[in-house]
Structure 1
Amino acid sequence: MFRPRPASIVSAAALSLAVIAGTAAAPATASPGPVSAGPAHPSPAAPDRVSDLTYPTTISHRGGAAVYPEESMEGFTASVKDGFLPEMDIQFLEDGTPVLIHDDTADRTLNGVSGPIRDLSLEEWNSATIKSPTGGAEAETVTLDEALDELGGEVVMVPEIKPGATSAEVDQVLDEFDERDLSDSLIVQSFDFEAAKTIAKRGYTSLYLMGATLPKQSFDEISDAGIEWVGPSKNLPTRDLRKLDKAGFHVAPYTLKTSKDGHRLPGWIDGYFTDDAWTK
């Protein structure tokens, strides 16, 4: 369950429900006010099973980090409402609690705390706020549990287990997904090939992230590991993107500035990550 919310956030519940229900338009270029802490009701436009995806699929990077506070519930629910797959990053607190933040330190995106995420207590995490990319309202931090309580099984989510996670932590996260029966509704990412292999072995759709060059593993090695998706940098040459496509992988480059850039990609690309899924 969610931790108690400040009155200023709880009072925004009516606005949030209107947005999620489609009775109010979600802002596309300005940071919104806080949204509801209550259960989300995603639009049918946001698929809830990986098998129901249509291509190219738009992955809202960090919940739309150019529009909403990065890795906030505001960004996740707004992405879902408009049919985009919310993407998030998993790091770990001092006590092992999985939380959603990209960096391994708090300084760039959070107010109220600083230093390594692994040095923070849960109390410190809960007291922090997420900065707005546009200077608007800040947002509350989000644990993995809170995100899964809100959206788990209701939409295809794209969590990344960040580099540095131990094999035990990878299993911890996958165990939590198992407990919630989410194998059909997650694309789980990692830059770590061994973690990507474990993700696939555990029955999840695995996305192997790579940089601006092809990985050291052969395509057969990646495929034999059960990995179906690859996430190369947008700077990987088009000829190499095409090689990945011809090898049978779903190819989803990261990170495009807006969806307008996504529409310029070759037609054989199956998805893309963007910081602003709303700007066409």
Structure 2
Amino acid sequence: MNTTEQKNTRPCTASILATAVLTLTATVGTGVTSASAHGLGSPSETDFAAPDQVSEIEFPTTISHRGGADVYPEESMEGFTASARDGFLPEMDIQFLEDGTPVLIHDDTADRTLNGVSGPIRDLSLEEWDSATIKHPQGGEPAETVTLDEALDELGGEVVMVPEIKPGATSAEVDQVLDVFDERGLTDSLIVQSFDFEAAKTIADRGYTSLYLTGSTLPTESFDEIAAAGIEWVGPSKNLPTRDLRRLDKAGFHVAPYTLGTAKDGHRLPGWIDGYFTDDAWTN
């Protein structure tokens, strides 16, 4: 079966969403609210509660890490779409296949999250990628893999998305991804992340809202250097001491720590935090 034929066998988004609604239930006693309780499957199911422009984000904002990796198959269309419908910003990671196609997966290897393929993502063909499925975190039905183009076809310009260009991307690959965003006119509806300072600078230079990901210590660059690069958001580890989070906030950055277990953990953060990444945006 060639790549085109295989693509055409994929279920439509409506079918995928129907499956997601059936498999995710409400557990009131634990505070988990199902996607269906938030409106999936309702007459307004084509509406997204998440903002469609960065300028419309209300703080603190909830960023659904990898599309809600503790609730939905990691980096799946089901997770991205459910997140957007329920008002959360879907976050995803960009890696590259053998032929340079940008695809959405966190790890640089397939083994942890995918069925049917193994080894480095950069060694996979597009046909192999399309034939793989994403494991479900709770043992449910696996999901289809997603390319960057497929996610943008579904959500681009409809909601604010938070893509990360993963470490290891070349400067040409960073430009390749930004060119895709340019072609689709997504400047106002993306927060683009990177752990690489030079990439974060390029993202800002190209006119996108740039989020510089850092670790459990303050970045090696000075606050003035980060600001001069046009970077507006900083995403430190949740383990960064509160006093240092506050220093970033007072320096004028939007601060969004990663990665909290649930939204309930996010609600415990100081009020001056502008956002947070969580694997389960629904448990509050």
TM-score normalised by length of structure 2: 0.89
> Mind listing any 5+ residue stretches in structure 2 that lack a counterpart?
27-31
Find the counterpart in structure 1 of residue 106 from structure 2: 102
Between the aligned residues of both structures, percent identity stands at 80
Distance 1:48 1:27, change over 3 A: farther
What residue identity is the alignment partner of 2:265? D
Find the counterpart in structure 1 of residue 189 from structure 2: 185
Q: CA offset at residue 5 of structure 1?
A: 3.6
* Alignment counterpart, residue 175 of structure 1, candidates 172, 176, 179: 179
Measured against aligned partners, the alpha-carbon deviations of 1:160-206 in whole angstroms (never above 9, x if no partner) come to 00000000000000000000000000000000000000000000000
1:111–1:130 Cα contact (<8 Å) kept = yes
Find the counterpart in structure 2 of residue 42 from structure 1: 47
Task: Find runs of 4+ consecutive structure 1 residues off by over 4 angstroms.
Answer: 28-32
Find the counterpart in structure 2 of residue 117 from structure 1: 121
Quote the RMSD (CA, aligned, Å): 2.5
Find the counterpart in structure 1 of residue 141 from structure 2: 137
Aligned mates of 2:71, 2:16 — CA distance in 1: 21
Aligned mates of 1:5, 1:261 — CA distance in 2: 40
What residue identity is the alignment partner of 2:234? V
TM-score normalised by length of structure 1: 0.90
2:33–2:283 Cα contact (<8 Å) kept = no
What SS does structure 2 have at the residue aligned with 1:118?
helix
* Alignment counterpart, residue 16 of structure 1, candidates 18, 26, 42: 18
Q: CA offset at residue 4 of structure 1?
A: 1.9
Find the counterpart in structure 2 of residue 194 from structure 1: 198
Find the counterpart in structure 2 of residue 243 from structure 1: 247
Find the counterpart in structure 2 of residue 214 from structure 1: 218
Find the counterpart in structure 1 of residue 261 from structure 2: 257
Find the counterpart in structure 2 of residue 64 from structure 1: 68
Find the counterpart in structure 1 of residue 157 from structure 2: 153
Higher helix share: 2
> Mind listing any 5+ residue stretches in structure 1 that lack a counterpart?
none
Distance 1:16 1:217, change over 3 A: same
State whether structure 2 residue 238 is matched by structure 1 residue 234.
Answer: yes
1:31–1:133 Cα contact (<8 Å) kept = no
Find the counterpart in structure 2 of residue 89 from structure 1: 93
What residue identity is the alignment partner of 2:271? G
What SS does structure 1 have at the residue aligned with 2:193?
strand
Q: CA offset at residue 59 of structure 1?
A: 0.2
Measured against aligned partners, the alpha-carbon deviations of 1:195-243 in whole angstroms (never above 9, x if no partner) come to 0000000000000000000010000000000000000000000000000
Aligned mates of 1:51, 1:17 — CA distance in 2: 33
Find the counterpart in structure 1 of residue 29 from structure 2: none
Distance 1:15 1:55, change over 3 A: closer
What residue identity is the alignment partner of 1:200? A
